[in-house]
Structures are given as structure tokens and as C-alpha cells.
Amino acid sequence: MAEKRCGGMGADDGNRQRSIRYILSFGILFALLLLFLVWNIRVGSVSVSYDEIIRSLLGQEIGETAANILWRIRMPRALAAAILGGALALSGYLLQTFFHNPIAGPFVLGISSGAKLTVALVMVFSLGNAFRASSGMMIIAAFVGAMLSMGFVLLMSRKVQRMSMLIISGVMIGYICSAITDLIVTFANDADIVNLHNWSKGSFSGITWENVAVMTLVVGVVFVIVFFMSKPISAYQMGEAYAQNMGIHIRLFRAALVVLSSILSACITAFAGPVSFVGIAVPHLVKNLFRTSKPILMIPACFLGGGVFCLFCDLIARTLFAPTELSISTVTAVFGAPVVILIMICRQKEKM
Amino acid sequence: MEKKYFYTEAMTVGYQGVPLIHNIKIHISRGEILTMIGPNGAGKSTILKSIARQLNLLGGMVYLDNRDLTKMPGNELAQKMAVVFTERIRSEMMTCEDIVATGRYPYTGKFGILSKADRKVIAEAMEMVHMTELRNQDFMKISDGQRQRVMLARAICQEPEIILLDEPTSYLDVKYKLEFMTILQEMTRTKKLSVIMSLHELDLAERISDRILCVHENYVEKFGPPEEIFVPGYISHLFEMTAGSFEEGSGLVELEAPQGAPEVFVIAGAGTGRSIFRRLQRKGIPFAVGILYENDLDYPTAKALAVKVLSAGPFEAISEEQIKSAKDWMDQCPEVICCRDSFGVWDQANARLSEYAKQCGKLKVYP
């Protein structure tokens, strides 16, 4: 009897501990996001003081150079890093859910590279014909590429049963697309191609407010839809058979996951080029922080975590060897790839 | 005929448009248990998956509560039907309680937030399968048997009217097997739950089922109450058994009987002989047994393992002729084992056989 009561209390305590953990984790993520946002805005070849940032935000006059750097360059760039990072992590989370595979992500499955290829094509075409491709056009181009790659991955997933083989075929598609992109970039003979070259390696530089507005709209809408899907996602985590029993229309649901994750990866690729490993590393780290995989928590948490991760990586990319800028993928790979290795080691242990 | 809670009409099931089993006609009422038995790969899982709407029907109709099952909205079906499949689920960072809680899905709101009432149902379901102490453990870090119980709790907290189980007892030891079946039985009585499952344990199937469906190499051979199914010789036929035997009366299996001329004659009875028969079988020694009453405890095992069983009808007197025949068999055997240390008033025939063996110098007393 005494034991039973003890057990009951333990359970309540467990629930409370969990809630505290969730709140604390969200607190940490928000704090980090804010910290890195400010840090990103402040630090660079020209340093802007906190005082100036606050004054500028309040609408007061500061020096013209400082204002320009702040409003024209750093703010849109930092916001883009946060939004696109979040989108990337969320896209990875959706793909992992879809394939029931913790190392699935837009980059390893070749979806980013597919998007990159079509965007490069559109860019080169638009340069050749002397018009500027709008943000919307870029996203659509990227989405087409992402869907093409995704279609190929899906075809492969029917043929190969093993998840590792699926990843390998995704990586191969990625290489093929990248090779073609490089070819296009190399032979596109234009001065503006330097920009394209930077973009094709992945970078948050050169983001405009117009870009930010478009990405906020697209990513925001997708985020809301995904958040409303958290309940079916939780059922889908148990496997298709059980999800079906719960009354989920499996085909519709799977199609939604594919389209939504492709839109997200397309959005990132259109604005920042391919960014590696964020989609795998962030959901994994966030899961470990929260110690749960409940979608209703994971979806916002992955988004925040992705933002933090990309802000952090972009900070390093900009400042480590300033004035030379590293490509964002270089930095995300350094921090992301070890996480992937760690996941694989843990999975192996679990099997034994 | 009264309308049953669940019934099928000319149901045809199969994969990807290729029919595997035609014309299945089964029915159960509320609170009944239907068990499917049959060899591996016969199509039991295919039938279950078709009923659960994982596979499209290739023909015929399925009715649940007088409604066409194929046309029922998903959420409504989820409130009526729960499933426990063999496929292993991989979870990440989910406690056993989290897994059980997924069963509340059809009852929760847009975001799947659990109410107090939901939590109560979950706690009760966990209590029912005796896994409350596992609630905060990671689902991936418990044993297969425990996992199976968690999945049952999950199905229970879905508060279904009918539950489908595919070989639910595979990973369970005997204690949990019986416990699992007891829980099912309890729920059929208290909650009028209907159960459709496939089982490999024929003894359990015979004991728990109200109806049994025999699936034999892609067609349904028999459907009826267990007493119509477990008739002598049928199980060997159903499974096309090539070695050993299944005794329908007791639900026991015996290994293949040693062949050849009997080398040992065993005097047994009242359950004293079974362990000797099996010991001889293990050593591959052919043997004869006599004289057993056909209602003796030793009789089924002797029948399955001995080359020759000399028997008398239940409670009949043993005739001189039968004793003579037993002596003849004894003469052929180099050795006689007597498992009995005393003989009852009505068992003087065996006493005389034992005496005869002693005179011949062949008798070994066991133990």
C-alpha cells in the first residue's frame, strides 16, 4: 500500500519535472536566440555598440555608416539566418519523421542539391537575359528542384529496403546535382557570376529586406500548417500500421510531409544555397535537450534550435577569418557532422 | 439468424490486387473471441490486415456493428477497433506511458492534449497489464515481453469494442502468456470486447476461443467452435505435420516416435509411464506399452510414442486374450520396464504381466 502511494507520487513528480524541463529548455533556446541575434548584429568588421543598436531600434538618429550597416546588411542577414535555420531544422525533422530515420535530412537526401541545380539554372538564365529573378521565382525554381530530387529519393525508397542505402543514394543524387551546378556556374560567363559562386557554396550574405519578407511569409505559413499537424505526426511516429488504425489518411499525410519539407528546403536553398547537416543535427540536439520526441514540443523547439544553430554558425563564418568569409556549410558541417556520427554510434549500441 | 456484431460476406483478401484467400465467411458477437490458426504464411496476417483496413479488400463485405466497415470514417473506426501487430515499433525518447497514451488519439482534441479523464484511462490500462512500474522507462529499453504488454495497454486505452491481435503471445513467457489471455478474457466479460487474433499456441487457442478459423495454405478450411476443430488427426492435417504429433484431446505435442521392432516393453498406468516413454523416445528406442485403459493418463503419450499400445476400453475388464497378446509382445522384447510399485484391485492383469516378466528374468523396476 505504502509502495503504491509512493509510486503515484513519483509519477506526479515525474510529470512536474518534465514540465519544468520543457519550460527551461524553451527558455534556454529563446535566450540563446536573442543573444546570438544581438551578437550577430553587433559584431563584424565595423563594431556597433549596444547603445547604438537600441537607439536605432527606438528610431533615434545614429551615424549614417552604422545605420546602413545595421539596417541594410546585418539585420536582414541575422533574421534570415534565424528564419532559414529554423526552416532547415524543421524540414529535417519532417524528413526524419517521414523516413523513420534519424539521419535523414534535406542535405543528405540530395533535396537541397536538387533545389540548388534548378535555382542555378534560373539565375544563369535570368542573368543571360538581363532580368533579375524575384524571390518568389527563386523559391518556385528551388521547389521544383527539391520535388524532383524528392521524387527520385521516393522511387529509391521503394526499391531499397535498407535506410542506409537510401541515404547513400540521396548523397549520390546530391553529388550529381552539385556537379551539374558547378558545370553551369563555371561556364556561365558573366561578371555577376561571382555572386552565384558564393551562393552555390551556401551563404547568408546579400539578403535583402524583400527576401526576408518573402521567406517570413512562406516559412511562417508552413510552420503553422506543420504545427497543426503535430497530432497526426505523433501517431505516425508509431509506424504506419498504427497511424492508419488511428484514422489517419496515410497517403494524404505522407504527401503533405513531402510537400511541406520540400517547400522548406526550397526556401532555404533559394536564399542561402545549400546548408549542410543542420537538418539532422538540430532535431537530434533538441530532442536530447527536451528528452522527448513529442511533435507538439519538437516542432517549435526545432525551429528555435535551428535559428540558434545557424546564427551561431553564421557568426563564426563571418568573424573567424574576417574579412574573409567562410561558407556557411563549412561551419555547419564542423558542428553538425560529429552529431551525425554520434547518432549512428548510439543507434548501433541500441541494436546490440 | 440474428445479426452478429462483426461478420464478413465472401471476403477476399490479398496483396496488391492479387487475391490470396477467397470467400471468407466469419462472424462473432460482442464479447466473443475468434482465433485464427494455421501454418506460417497461410494468410492469417493478411486477413487481420484486411479487416484493419491496412489492405484493401479484394472482394466481399465486412460489417461492424451493422455498418459497412470500409465506409466508416477513420476516427469513428479508431474508437471502435484497436490493433496490436507484430511489427516492431521504433520509438525515440518515449516512455512506456507515452506509448500507451497514443491510444487516446481518437478521443483527444486538435493538438492531442490529454485531459484528466484521458490520464485516468491510461493509468487504468497500465494497471490492467501490470506495467505501472514501467511507466517512466524508455520504451526501447524494455524487454520484448514487456513491450508487448505496453502495446496491449495502448490498445486497451483506446477503449475499443473490437481488438485485432497478430500473434500477441510470441514474445511472452508462460506467466505473461496466461496473464495476457486472462486480461483479454476479462475484457470480453466486463466490457463485451470482441477479439480477433492469430495464435501459434494451439492449446491456448483451444481453451480461450469461442470460434476458431483454420487457414490452410491460402484457403479457409474450417470455421467453428473449438470442439469442432480439435478432433483427432485434424491438426496434423491442417499443419501438414511430417514429424511428431499433436494430441487434440490434451493439446500436447509429442516428438516423432522411434520406429522398428520394440526393444522394451513398458508396464505403465495412472500417469507413471509418460516420463519413461519420453526418455525412451529421446534415446530412440522403440517400445511397446501394455496394458493401458484408454482413459488412462498415460494413454495419449503412449499412443503418440509407442510402436504398439495394448489397450482396453474405459473401465472394461481385461480379457485373458488381451493378456495373452501382451505376453506375446513381451516375449519379443529383450527388456521389460515396470513403472508401477503397486497394482489396484481392478488392475490385476498388469500385476500378472509384471510377475510373468520377473519369471522371464527381463524385469527392471523403475525407478
Per-residue pLDDT, B344: 81
CATH number at residue B338: 3.40.50.720
Structure confidence at residue A28 as a pLDDT band (50, 70, 90) = very high
My answer on whether B75 and B104 are in the same domain is yes
What is the C-alpha to C-alpha distance for residues A299 and A287, in angstroms, rounded to an integer?
Answer: 11
Confidence of residue A194 (pLDDT cuts 50, 70, 90): low
CA atoms within 13 A on the CB side of A75: 15
Which of chain A's residues have a Cβ under 8 Å away from the Cβ of B118? none
The confidence band for B82, taking pLDDT boundaries of 50, 70 and 90, is very high
Asked if A302 has any chain B CB less than 8 Å from its own CB, the reply is: no
pLDDT above 70 for A77: yes
Judging contacts by C-beta atoms under 8 Å, the chain A residues touching residue B89 are 238-239, 242
- Among partner residues B78, B85, B91, which is closest to A247 by beta-carbon distance? B78
CB within 8 Å of B86: residues ≥ 6 apart = B45, B166, B167, B170
Alpha-carbon gap, residue A218 to A200, rounded angstroms: 22
- Report the complex ipTM: 0.79
**Chain B residues closer than 8 Å to A11 by CB:** 135-136
User: How many A/B residue pairs have CB atoms within 8 Å?
Assistant: 81
Q: Which residues of A touch B80 (CB under 8 A)?
A: none
CA A141 to chain centre: 18
Residue A189 has pLDDT above 70, yes or no: no
Q: What is the pLDDT of residues A248-273, one digit of tens each?
A: 888 889 889 988 999 999 899 888 88
> How confident is the model at residue A131, as a pLDDT?
65
Q: For chain B, say whether A245 makes contact (Cβ under 8 Å).
A: yes
Q: Cell 497500465: give the residue.
A: B126
User: How many residues are listed for chain A in this entry?
Assistant: 352
Measured torsion, CA atoms of residues A88, A94, A99, A104, in degrees rounded to the nearest 10: 20
Report yes or no: A234 at the B interface, CB cutoff 8 Å: yes
List of chain B residues whose C-beta atoms are within 8 Å of the C-beta of residue A350: 140
Residue B37 belongs to domain with CATH number: 3.40.50.300
Q: Are B303 and B223 part of one and the same domain?
A: no
Over residues B278-289, mean pLDDT: 87
Domain extent for B209: 6-239
The angle formed by the CA atoms of residues B285, B286 and B291, to the nearest 5 degrees, is 125
Give the residue on A whose Cα is nearest the Cα of B74.
Answer: A247
Confidence tier at A44 by pLDDT (50, 70, 90): confident
**Euclidean distance between CA atoms A216 and A214, whole angstroms:** 5
Nine-digit cell string for A191 = 561578371
| Mutation target among A238, A240, A245, A246 for the B interface, most CBs of B within 10 A | A245
Shortest CA gap B225–chain A (Å): 29
Where a domain ends, among B206, B239, B272?
A: B239
pLDDT band at A1 (very low <50, low <70, confident <90, very high): very low
Q: Nearest CB to A234: which of B73, B75, B102? A: B102
Residue B151 sits in the same domain as residue B23: yes
Do B211 and B360 have their domain in common? no
**Residue A324 to chain B, least CA–CA distance (Å):** 41
User: Is B106 in contact with A247 (Cβ distance < 8 A)?
Assistant: yes
* A242 half-sphere exposure, CB direction, 13 A CA radius: 28
What is the residue whose three cell numbers read 489518411? A249
Three cell numbers written together for A280: 539532422
Q: In this predicted structure, what is the pLDDT of residue A309?
A: 94
Selecting from 1.10.3470.10, 3.40.50.720, 3.40.50.10170, 3.40.50.300, what CATH number does the domain A2-48+78-351 have? 1.10.3470.10
Q: Please, is B319 exposed, middle or buried when counting C-beta atoms within 10 Å of its C-beta (0-12, 13-18, 19+)?
A: exposed
pLDDT at residue A6, rounded to an integer: 41
Per-residue pLDDT, A217: 93
The pLDDT > 70 percentage for chain A reads 89
Kindly list the residues from chain B whose CB atom is less than 8 angstroms away from the CB atom of residue A242.
Answer: 83, 85, 89, 102
The whole-angstrom distance between B77's CA and the closest CA on chain A is 7
**Into how many domains does chain B fold?**
2
B309 bridge partner residues: B289
In angstroms, the separation between the Cα of residue A283 and the nearest Cα of chain B is 12
> What does pLDDT average to over chain B?
86
The residues, ordered by sequence, that sit 6+ positions from A81 with a Cβ below 8 Å of its Cβ are A40, A204, A307, A310, A311, A314
Average pLDDT value over all residues in chain A: 84
For A47, the grid coordinates are 563594431
Q: A228 CB near a chain B CB, below 8 Å?
A: yes
Choose the weakest-confidence range: A11-15, B46-50, B99-103, B354-358.
Answer: A11-15
- Final residue belonging to a domain, choices B204, B239, B274: B239
**Residue A91, pLDDT score:** 94
User: Grid coordinates representing B196?
Assistant: 480477433
Q: Hey, how many other C-beta atoms are within 10 angstroms of the C-beta on A217?
A: 13
Name chain A contacts of B140, Cβ cutoff 8 Å: 350
Instruction: Give the count of alpha carbons within 13 A of B212, CB side only.
Output: 26
| pTM for the full predicted model | 0.84
Instruction: Report CA-CA distances (Å) from A40 to A206, A268, A305, A329, B353.
Output: 15, 19, 16, 17, 103
Closest by CA to B340, choosing from B294, B306, B291, B303, is B291
Strand ranges in B147-234 using DSSP code E only, listed in sequence order: 162-166, 194-198, 211-216, 219-224
pLDDT of residue A130: 62
pLDDT band at A192 (very low <50, low <70, confident <90, very high): low
Q: How far apart are CA B259 and CA B30, in angstroms?
A: 49
Question: Is residue B249 one of the residues assigned to a domain?
Answer: no
Q: pLDDT tens for residues A129-178?
A: 666 667 788 888 889 999 898 888 888 877 776 777 788 888 888 889 88
Residue A163, chain B, CB below 8 Å: the answer is: no
pLDDT at A114 over 60: yes
Q: What is the 3-state secondary structure (H, E, C) of B339-350?
A: CCCCCCHHHHHH
Pinpoint the alpha helices (H) of chain A. Answer: 2-42, 50-57, 64-68, 75-99, 111-128, 135-159, 163-187, 193-201, 209-228, 230-236, 240-245, 250-272, 278-290, 295-319, 328-351
> For residue B85, which residues of chain A lie inside 8 Å, CB to CB?
241-242
Pair (B302, B355) in one structural domain: yes
Q: Where are the domains of chain A?
A: 2-48+78-351
What residues are paired with B220 via a beta bridge?
B215
CA distance linking residue B183 with residue B195, whole number of Å: 12
pLDDT in tens, B238-248: 888 888 788 77
Q: Note whether A243 contacts B: Cβ–Cβ < 8 A.
A: no
The CA-based diameter of chain B, rounded to the nearest angstrom, is 88
Q: How far apart are CA B82 and CA B103, in angstroms?
A: 8
Environment class of B231 (CB within 10 Å of its CB; exposed 0-12, middle 13-18, buried 19+):
exposed
Min Cα–Cα distance to chain A from B156, Å: 14
Nearest C-alpha of chain A: how many angstroms from B314? 53
Are B82 and A350 a contacting pair at CB < 8 A? no
Q: Are B6 and B64 in contact (CB under 8 A)?
A: yes
Say what the pLDDT of residue A8 is.
44
Query: In chain B, which residues have their Cβ closer than 8 Å to the Cβ of A346?
Result: none
Residue A110 · residue A80 · CB < 8 Å? no
Shared-domain flag, residues B286 and B235? no
Region A17-39: mean pLDDT is: 93
Task: Please check the confidence at residue A9 and state whether its pLDDT lies above 80.
Answer: no
Residue in chain B nearest A290 by alpha carbon: B93
Q: Phi and psi for B27 in degrees, rounded to 5? A: -155, 145
Query: Using a CB-CB distance cutoff of 8 angstroms, which residues of chain B are in contact with residue A251?
Result: none
pLDDT-derived band at A126 (thresholds 50, 70, 90) equals: confident
With CA atoms as reference, the chain A residue closest to B84 would be A242
Does some domain include residue B195? yes
Residue type, A304: L
Q: Are A305 and A286 in contact (CB under 8 A)?
A: yes
Give B148's contacts (C-beta < 8 A, 6+ positions apart): B84, B168, B169, B170, B171, B172, B176, B180
- B163-167: average pLDDT: 92
- The whole-angstrom distance between B137's CA and the closest CA on chain A is 11
CB contact under 8 A, B93 and A248: no
In a domain, B12, yes or no: yes
